[in-house]
Amino acid sequence: MGLSIQTLKDTLDSLLPKSRFEHSLRVADMAVVLASLNNISTEKAYLAGLIHDTAKPMSPQTLLSDYSVQIKDPLETVFSEYKAVWHALVAPQVVSTLFQINDEAVLDAIQWHTTGKADMAFLTKVIFVADFVEPGRNTDISRAMEIIAKSNIDRACFEISEFSIQKLNKKNNKIHPLTIDCYNHYRSFAKK
């Protein structure tokens, strides 16, 4: 692993808007709580939470001009079709280039944090859920999900994907196929 946590924090503080940086710190803290409840590495959980939104303010154009990172199709198409999803799908390429982070579990977790997907690795579930339930998301649904997540993270994955699909439907937005896969996979964990 490349840079120290403090160096990563300082760099993200300069890269991200203040509110996004503070959200990242809260996701990292929540990821540690969920990781320890599920007996997985809290160090990896903190790291993944901290860096999950690194690409949020970026675009294919700024990545190329500012960091010489070339994003190729199909991810270029994702940027125009699913703007909210793009920063997650390109995150591994961005953090491996900018921060020399190459841990496969961490890269997987940040890649699927927005869409989720079927049959996620444990750390990937932790970041998917932590992003939704971090305490800055001050909504009833986030607080309810936090309680569920602490006792059954698979059920939280189902509820979060169901909520996302309903929200996107209401706004008449396109739903990424991976979000549908996530919903279908985790629906067996729904409250009976």
Closest distance between Fe ion and the C-beta of residue 88, in Å? 6
As measured in angstroms, the least distance from the Cβ of 163 to Fe ion is 15
Pick the closer one to Fe ion by CB: 19 or 39.
Answer: 19
Separation of alpha carbons 165 and 145, rounded Å: 15
Tell me which residue has tokens 């320890």.
36
Q: Please say whether the beta carbons of 81 and 174 come within 8 A.
A: yes
Which residue in the set 12, 41, 131, 153 belongs to the binding site for Fe ion (CB under 5 A)?
A: 131
Specify the stretch interacting with Fe ion by CB under 5 A; choose among 5-13, 49-57, 138-146, 180-188: 49-57
Q: Which residues contact 117 (CB under 8 A, 6 or more apart)?
A: 124, 178, 181, 182, 185
Closest contact distance (angstroms) between CB of 52 and Fe ion is 6
Residue 63 tokens read as 């990545």
Q: How are the residues of the chain apportioned to helix, strand and coil, as percentages rounded to the nearest 5?
A: 70, 0, 30
- Answer for which of 34, 53, 123, 124 binds Fe ion (CB under 5 A) is 53
Q: Which stretch binds Fe ion (CB under 5 A): 74-82, 127-135, 159-167, 173-181?
A: 127-135
The two structure tokens encoding residue 99? 């921060």
Task: Restricting to residues 57-76, name those near Fe ion by CB under 5 A.
Answer: none
Q: Which stretch binds Fe ion (CB under 5 A): 10-18, 29-37, 46-54, 147-155?
A: 46-54
Nearer to Fe ion, 137 or 150 (CB): 137
Residue 146 interacts with Fe ion (CB under 5 A): yes or no: no
Long-range contacts of 31-34 (CB under 8 A, 24+ apart): 31/126, 31/127, 31/130, 33/150, 34/126, 34/129, 34/130, 34/149, 34/150, 34/153
State the residues that interact with Fe ion by CB under 5 A: 53, 131
